[in-house]
Amino acid sequence: MELTIGWLYPKLMSTYGDRGNVICLQRRCQWRGIGVNILPLDQDKKVEDFAKFDLIVGGGAQDRQQEIVMRDLRGEKAAVLKEKIEAGIPGVFTCGAPQLLGKYYEPALGKTIEGLGIFDLVTKHPGLNVPRCIGNIAFELVASPLVEEIQQMLGDCPIVVGFENHGGRTYLGKVSPLGKVVKGYGNNGEDGWEGAFYNNAIATYAHGPLLPKNPFLADWLIVKAIEKKYGERVDLKPLDDSLAHLAREAILRRIC
């Protein structure tokens, strides 16, 4: 059994250490004897490469880097990525990556950056003089069937923790929020929602990086990737996540 993890524009979209999500997925596969290949999907990759992944990870970027990415992620590349997500190929997209998958992003300076329109959401920067949304965040998962499937895996659905650092404010259309904010700003600091969930794609402002802090999300992504590739449901061998659990509990005690 083998999985290919697509890493979306790692040279341009790894501003906040989100490569940790890639490493987490890679190690949790290897520890279980699942073969894993990391496929960097940079500007030099062809359309055919965008069709090869079984699971995809996208990270954060500054406005300038997002513009460069969106110029490259057009036409056939965009069509292939959209086709994969619509087909239910799992992925996790943090910070700037969800903005690319939304309808558009209005930066503080410069022209509106058109997105791919995969997620029904828009992001707007309120201006350079408005404080950024920065700090630890905790939220309860609310998206279905994500909640039910994690409950089936664990017996419960833990609170997710992360760290947010974003100037843009995201507003959801007809797309499910990923979670309900317990502590922090979330999408916009107004409506109480954090992230978005569409098919098997997770969009969130939670860095940290996200998956090492919340390994049950990494395992859910791996299970869905195997299910989509091999057409079978698997029960992953349990790993010793006691340190991750203690770390998450310590953060929750500190901020909640």
From 29, 125, 166, 207, active-site residue: 207
pLDDT bracket for residue 18 (50, 70, 90): confident
**pTM above 0.75?**
yes
Phi-psi region of 95 (alpha: psi -120 to 50; beta: other; left: phi over 0): left
- Give the pLDDT score at 61: 67
Q: Which CATH number fits domain 2-232+240-255: 3.30.1360.120, 3.40.50.880, 3.30.110.30, 3.90.1150.10?
A: 3.40.50.880
Is residue 136 within 8 Å of 173, Cβ to Cβ? Answer: no
Asked about 207 being catalytic, the answer comes back as yes
First-to-last alpha carbon distance for the chain, in angstroms, is 41
Question: What digits encode the pLDDT tens for the residues 167-187?
Answer: 999 999 999 999 999 999 999
The span from the CA of 198 to the CA of 91, in Å, is 10
Give the tokens for residue 142. 């609310």
Asked about 95 being catalytic, the answer comes back as yes
- Give the pLDDT score at 63: 67
Question: What digits encode the pLDDT tens for the residues 198-233?
Answer: 999 999 999 878 999 999 999 999 999 999 999 998
Is residue 51 within 8 Å of 44, Cβ to Cβ? Answer: no
- Give the pLDDT score at 185: 97
Q: Which of 36-50, 61-75, 203-217 has the lowest mean pLDDT?
A: 61-75
The span from the CA of 130 to the CA of 127, in Å, is 6
From 24, 29, 95, 157, active-site residue: 95
